[in-house]
Structure formats: structure tokens, C-alpha cells
Amino acid sequence: MSHGLKELPKEERLYRMRHSAAHIMAEAVLKLFPGAKLGIGPPIETGFYYDFDLPRPLTPEDLPRIEELMRERIASDVPFVHDEISKEEARRLFADQTYKLELIEEIEGDTVSLYRHADFVDLCQGPHVERTGQVPPFKLLSVAGAYWRGDERRPMLQRIYGALFETEEELQEYLHRLEEAQRRDHRRLGRELDLFSFHEEYGPGLVYWHPRGGRVRAIIEDFWRREHFRRGYELVYTPHIGRATLWQTSGHLDFYAENMYSPMDVDGQDYYLKPMNCPFHIQIYKSRVRSYRELPIRLAELGTVYRYERSGVLHGLLRVRGFTQDDAHIFCRPDQVQAEIEGCLDFMLLFFDAFGFREFRVYLATRDAEGKYAGSLEDWQMAESTLRRAVEDRGLPYQVDEGGAVFYGPKIDVKLVDAIGREWQCTTVQFDFNLPERFDMTYVAADGSRQRPYMVHRAMLGSIERFLGVLIEHYAGAFPLWLAPVQAVVIPIADRHLPHAEAVARRLRDADLRVEVDDRQERMQAKIRDAQLQKVPYMLIVGDREVQAGGAAVRLRSGEDLGTLPLDEIVARLVAESRPTVG
């Protein structure tokens, strides 16, 4: 190797270290399972993986054994050696490695590049570290199923993931972040807090909202609707299916077909489940002649759409096959565009504020100079400068995704940064120069001429499902009071305190608070613990003293004890706290 590892940029060093660790892991697995068939083993962003075809499923106990063999190999400090052989030799060398043979056939030319260390050899372009001793701290994390070449029709292999960083400190920091992400995993919390479920056997990627999840969702949707009405949006409801002709006119059957489900036959006609709401909103716009005086028209819908996603990419609420967009379409005149875009951004900021997101990243996607595009160049320039100005006027830092726009218009994408620094796609504000043309949308201008309106698609939260998934992880399930499905649980110490507990609950319910009485035959401590596990913000404990005083002993889920408070004070406190804090 021409230069030493230390002189390389950090990224390049890590790449080589991670790739080398993958080879060392493959060697260790072969030692434990001599018949193992090897897939591929690349470095990844936080470490490495390798895919194996093994005689039995790996268990968590296997990982330390593999790690041990790896550490021995690292300690032996043998060199990585590059080699090149002919295809014919490679076929002999990998005669019992079916997956490698498949890869060999795809190599162009007759030379096959190899890397060896000790007795292990792999098909490989490199580069690697010079010696096994240069592999820094690592940890094997997990085993997951992975189809050979990502193809669902090919064999399912076992993929071992490892984390690898240059220093023990960096590794520990990463493992801590990983643990935190697992603690917050919305799929686990969704089960534990009884918010939602999936029923794979009746269709993967389809969410069932349980009563508690349903409450949180209803709270978000009520807030969403109220704020939309306040900002001059009109609420609409549109069908879930539409005839093929609609999707032909919209163009979805041409450019979006792979995301749509197969048609169903209705009276000899093809109907499709909607993947988007836009064509329906356009029909509402077109239901009568529109005057320039009516614009802007803002049509909003919590519209449930269905899109095909490969089963391998489905992930809890974050990637599903049926979801509800918090969708709206704005139809306006050229002189209104700037104000409308600014309105969208201000609206977005209100939502982020209300839901406790302090950090987000803005991306502006502009026209692809190479590709085809709908609309005129002037339209695009106007739209791009409008988006840019709206972002800049608000002092929002942004990145430009040059050429990243879809063919029908430029857009702004906004990604939320959650409590542990991960980015989530959320808001989109998207110009469309295609659909108004295809559906021949017009309005009557002041001079009596027919003009095309501008059309903007926008979603504030994106998908209600994904947003809730993000929200659960952001709060680690401990929703603020205004979003908590159960805001308070009343805990009677003994059966004789039950009537008072019921009276306390009634008072809270009358004030529109969400309250439950825990009347199970359990000890008080057990009830408090369960309420804490359920992340209920307030526990109101009632015993003899509270019955006499007419109040309740107040405990927070954090464990803080507020002592016995009069009922009026409790109600006033909870009511004040259950408004979203905005502005």
C-alpha cells in the first residue's frame, strides 16, 4: 500500500477498517460453520455487515463467540494481501461458494481481484488496512434476515451487523445512542402503551389504531382542522377510489403506476385506490366556473391514500402501505403566490412549535437542467425564487438540492430533527405546473379572459401515521399533557375511597380532561408503578385524608410529589397545561 493509514482522511480510514472487519468476521463465521456460504460484506455508515447462508439460525449467544475469534485474528496482526487471478482460477477457488460464483460471472474482463489475510480469501476490490491489528474497537450488534441481492425471490441470508469506530469512546457513544433509539422505538412503545398494532397475516403495512392511539390521533386532527379553518382553508372529503380515466388524465397511470395497486373491476370499468388526493381536489375546483375574486382557494383533506411499498422496506408507522396525508391544494393567481407560500411556512412553524420540535432542516429542490419539465422556464424561475425568498425572509437556513425537483415543479422539503438528532421528512410545499394543464383548469380574470391558476400541493405533517411514529419516539412515549391519551389516573387507596375517586374523575371529565379510575384490586404502589409505565402525566391518589379534605394527592410521572391539593386547583392546573403551547 502506497501510503500509511494515518495519512488518509478519517472517512477513508474508517471505510478500510470497517471493510477489513467484515472480512475478519467472515473468517470467524467460516471457522464456526465450515459449510457456511458467503454473500457480501461491505462497510456501512456506522460499521459493517456480512451476509451468510448458514445451516441454522444464529442466536444472540453466537455473537460473542464470533467476536472472540475476530479479536484473536486482530491480535495476531497478519497482513491483508491483494491478489489477482483469472476467472477460471477464481471459479476453482470458490467452487463451493455459490453466491461468490454468481458474482464472479458478473465481473467484466478476465481478472478477478482478491484480498487475503491468513487463510481467508474473499472476492474483493479493496481497499483494506495493511494489517489486521489496525482494526479498532468494534461490537457485533444483531442478526437480521436479508434476501440475497435484496431480491425477495432469492434465498434469505443471515446478516450480521457490527459497529466500528476509531476509538472506544466513539464506539461507546454510538452504542449509547443506539440504546436510546431502541428505548424510544415507536413499535415497542406502540405495543406497551396500547396505541396501535399491525396484523401481518391480514396485510403488512396496514395500521390498526387502538383506543389510546386513536385518542392521540383525534387530538392532533382536531388541532389540525381548527388551525386550518383559522387560516382560510376549507375542509373537503373525497372518494377512496376513482375510475381509470381520472388517473389517465392526471398522468398517474403513466408516471406513478408502480406505486398504485392493481385495479378492481366495477361494472366492467377499472377503478383504482387513490395514491393521492390531488385529482379529486381538482374536480372540486372545476365543479363550477371560478372567478379571480374567489382565489386563493385552499382545499384541505385528511386524505387516506394507499401506495405500494415493497414489504422489505415497511417499518412500523414510518413506512406503511396505507396512510393519511394532511393534504391541501392551493389554487391561486400569480400575484398571490408569494403570500401563499409564506403562509405555508408560517403554518409549518406553528406546528413544529406546538409539537415541541425545535430543530429542522429545509431543502429546496430546483429544476433538473438536463431533464424534461412541465410548464415554462419563467414559471419555474418565478416558483424557485418565491420559495427561496419565503425561506430567506424567515431566516431559515436551507440547502439547495440542485436539479432535485420532480418534472412538474420545484419544492421545499422540511425534515424534523428529533430529540436524539435523527431527521424525518415532514413538511412539503410543492409547485405543480403539470396537473392544471392536464385538467385544463382555469379562472376568469378581471379582463374576462381565461387564465390558468397556480397550483401548490402542501402537507404540513406529511403522513399522520409517520408523524405519530416520530412523535412517539421524540417524546419516548411520554406525551405532553395536551397530547396524552390519558392525562390523569385516579388511584383509590382502598375500596372505601372509590366513590370519592369517581367524583374526582367526574370533575375532571366535566372539564374535558381525559381521566381514568384505577379500581383494580391492586396495591397502591403497584397502581402508581403501572401508571408511570403507561407514562400517564398525573396520578391523583385518594385516601381517608383526601376524602376528608375534598382533594387528591398529586404525583407526576417523573416521580415528583406535589402533596394534597384541592380539586379546584387540580382542575385549573390541568386545564391550563392541556393547551398546546404555540407562539
How far, rounded to the nearest angstrom, does the alpha carbon of residue 237 sit from its chain's CA centroid? 26
Rounded Cα gap, residues 462 and 471, in angstroms: 13
Active-site position among 159, 217, 321, 457 = 457
User: What backbone phi and psi angles, to 5 degrees, belong to 81?
Assistant: -125, 130
- Nearest residue to Zn ion on Cβ basis: 124
Q: Under rule CB under 5 A, how many of the chain's residues touch Zn ion?
A: 3
CB of 313 to Zn ion, least distance (A): 22
CA distances from 48 to 17, 22, 248 (A): 9, 6, 45
Segment lying near Zn ion (by CB under 5 A), choices 182-190, 283-291, 457-465, 529-537: 457-465
Active-site position among 18, 321, 411, 497 = 411
Question: For Zn ion, which is the closer residue by CB, 418 or 432?
Answer: 432
Residue 51's nearest CA partner among 134, 150, 165, 138 is 150
Q: Which residues neighbour 150 within 8 Å (Cβ) at sequence distance 6 or greater? A: 312
Say whether residue 320 binds Zn ion (CB under 5 A): no
CB of 327 to Zn ion, least distance (A): 6
Residue 297 pairs in a beta bridge with 331
Residue 159 grid coordinates: 446478516
Question: For Zn ion, which is the closer residue by CB, 73 or 457?
Answer: 457
CB of 260 to Zn ion, least distance (A): 15
For strands 322-332 and 269-273, give the pairing: unpaired
Instruction: Sketch the per residue contact string, 236 through 275, with Zn ion: x for CB under 5 A, - otherwise.
Output: ----------------------------------------
**Residue 321 a catalytic site member:** no
Residue ranges with strand state E in 59-217? 81-86, 111-117, 120-123, 138-147, 156-164, 196-198, 207-209
How far, rounded to the nearest angstrom, does the alpha carbon of residue 90 sit from its chain's CA centroid? 43
Question: For Zn ion, which is the closer residue by CB, 116 or 315?
Answer: 116
CB of 124 to Zn ion, least distance (A): 3
Task: Describe the crossing of helices 498-510 and 567-577 by its angle, rounded to 10 degrees.
Answer: 40
**Residue 51 a catalytic site member:** no
Residue 29 grid coordinates: 463465521
**Residue 329 a catalytic site member:** yes
Question: For Zn ion, which is the closer residue by CB, 278 or 300?
Answer: 278
CB of 360 to Zn ion, least distance (A): 22
Say whether residue 457 binds Zn ion (CB under 5 A): yes
Q: Which residues neighbour 208 within 8 Å (Cβ) at sequence distance 6 or greater? A: 196, 197, 198, 199
CB of 430 to Zn ion, least distance (A): 7
**Residue 411 a catalytic site member:** yes
**Residue 19 a catalytic site member:** no
Instruction: Sketch the per residue contact string, 331 through 370, with Zn ion: x for CB under 5 A, - otherwise.
Output: ----------------------------------------
Rounded Cα gap, residues 535 and 141, in angstroms: 29
CA distances from 45 to 21, 51, 165, 197, 420 (A): 14, 17, 10, 31, 17
CB of 90 to Zn ion, least distance (A): 14
Question: For Zn ion, which is the closer residue by CB, 124 or 330?
Answer: 124
- Binders of Zn ion among residues 143 to 202 (CB under 5 A) are none
- Binders of Zn ion among residues 393 to 422 (CB under 5 A) are none
CA atoms within 13 A on the CB side of 494: 6
**58, 63, 90, 124: which one binds Zn ion (CB under 5 A):** 124
Q: Which residues neighbour 543 within 8 Å (Cβ) at sequence distance 6 or greater? A: 492, 493, 494, 497, 553
Q: Can you tell me whether residue 211 is helix, strand or coil? A: helix
CB of 192 to Zn ion, least distance (A): 36
Question: For Zn ion, which is the closer residue by CB, 42 or 312?
Answer: 42
Rounded Cα gap, residues 63 and 69, in angstroms: 10
Active-site position among 329, 458, 497, 557 = 329
Say whether residue 552 binds Zn ion (CB under 5 A): no
Sign of CA dihedral 305, 309, 312, 313: negative
Active-site position among 53, 62, 327, 518 = 327
Say whether residue 536 binds Zn ion (CB under 5 A): no
Say whether residue 278 binds Zn ion (CB under 5 A): yes
Q: Which residues bind Zn ion (CB under 5 A)?
A: 124, 278, 457
Q: Which residue numbers are catalytic?
A: 278, 307, 325, 327, 329, 411, 457
